[in-house]
C-alpha cells in the first residue's frame, strides 16, 4: 500500500516535469518565431536594417529631369521654400497651373494671407516670389492666330 502511494507520487511528479518541459519549449519556440518575424528586435536583424541600401530608400525631395518629383514643381532657387510653404493647404498643381507676373503673385499670396490663413512668409516671401516669377511667369505664347488661306470644301453626304 505504501509502495503504491509512493509510485503514485513519483508518477505525478514526472507528469508535472514533462508538462513543464513541454510548455517551456512551446514558449521558447513561439519566441523564436516572433523574433524571426520581427527582426528589428533581434541583434542580427537590427544589423540588417542598419545596412539598408540607400538607393532603395525613396528620397521625398528627389529631383528627376529638373522636376521635384513629389510636387511636380520645377527645380530652381527657392524650390524648397515653395515646397514647404505652398503645398500644405492645396496641391502644388494649383501653383503650377497659374502663371503670373510679380505683382499678381504678390497679390495672390496677400489674398491667401488675408482670407485663407496663410502665414507671414518672412524672409521667404522674396525667395518664393522670385522663384514663382522665374519659373511660372505669364505664359508668353498666346492663342495661335486664326487660320489663313484655307481652301474650304463642302462635305458631301
Ligand atoms: C494656409 C493655407 C494655404 C497656403 C499655405 C497656401 N495657400 Fe494658396 N490657396 C489657399 C486656398 C484655401 C486657396 C483657394 C483654393 C481653391 O480655390 O480651391 C488657394 C489658392 C491658391 C491659388 C489659386 C488662386 C486663384 O486665383 O485661383 C494659387 C496660385 C495659390 N494658392 C498659390 C499659393 C502659393 C504660391 C503658396 C505659397 C506661398 C500658397 N498658395 C500657400 C490656401 C493656402
3-state helix, strand, coil in the chain (%, to 5): 55, 5, 40
Question: Does the global pTM surpass 0.75?
Answer: no
51 vs 145, which has greater pLDDT?
145
Q: Answer whether residue 24 shows pLDDT above 70.
A: yes
Cβ-contact 71, 103 below 8 angstroms? no
Closest to 92 measured CA to CA, from 65, 126, 57, 61: 61
Rounded Cα distance, 93 and 95, in Å: 5
Quote the ligand 1 centre to 63 CA distance (angstroms).
23
Percent of the chain with pLDDT strictly greater than 90: 64
Mean pLDDT of 80-100: 96
CA of 58 to the centre of ligand 1 (A): 28
**Residue 38: what pLDDT?**
77
Query: Given pLDDT bands bounded at 50, 70 and 90, which one contains residue 153?
Result: confident
Higher-scoring residue by pLDDT: 101, 56: 101
Share of the chain above pLDDT 70, in %: 86
For ligand 1, atom 1, the nearest C-alpha belongs to 118
Confidence band for 27, pLDDT divided at 50, 70 and 90:
very high
Q: What cell was used for 90?
A: 492645396
Residue 154 CA to chain centroid, in angstroms? Answer: 57
Instruction: Tell me the pairing of strands 67-68 and 63-64.
Output: antiparallel
CA distance 16 to 8: 12
Task: Kindly indicate the confidence band of residue 1, based on its pLDDT and cuts at 50, 70 and 90.
Answer: low
Cell of 30: 513561439
Residue located nearest, by CA, to atom 23 of ligand 1: 94
| pLDDT band, very low/low/confident/very high, at 48 (cuts 50, 70, 90) | low
Residue closest via CA to ligand 1's atom 30 equals 95
Amino acid at each position: 500500500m505504501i509502495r503504491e502511494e509512493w509510485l503514485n507520487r513519483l508518477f505525478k511528479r514526472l507528469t508535472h516535469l514533462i508538462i513543464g518541459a513541454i510548455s517551456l519549449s512551446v514558449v521558447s519556440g513561439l519566441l523564436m518565431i516572433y523574433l524571426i518575424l520581427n527582426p528589428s528586435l533581434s541583434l542580427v536583424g537590427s544589423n540588417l536594417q542598419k545596412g539598408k541600401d540607400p538607393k532603395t530608400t525613396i528620397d521625398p525631395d528627389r529631383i528627376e529631369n529638373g522636376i521635384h518629383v513629389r510636387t511636380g514643381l520645377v527645380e530652381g532657387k527657392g524650390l524648397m521654400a515653395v515646397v514647404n510653404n505652398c503645398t500644405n493647404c492645396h496641391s502644388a498643381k494649383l501653383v503650377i497651373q497659374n502663371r503670373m507676373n510679380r505683382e499678381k503673385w504678390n497679390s495672390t499670396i496677400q489674398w491667401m494671407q488675408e482670407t485663407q490663413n496663410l502665414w507671414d512668409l518672412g524672409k521667404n516671401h522674396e525667395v518664393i516670389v522670385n522663384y514663382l516669377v522665374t519659373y511660372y511667369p505669364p505664359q508668353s505664347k498666346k492663342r495661335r492666330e486664326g487660320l489663313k488661306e484655307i481652301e474650304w470644301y463642302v462635305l458631301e453626304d
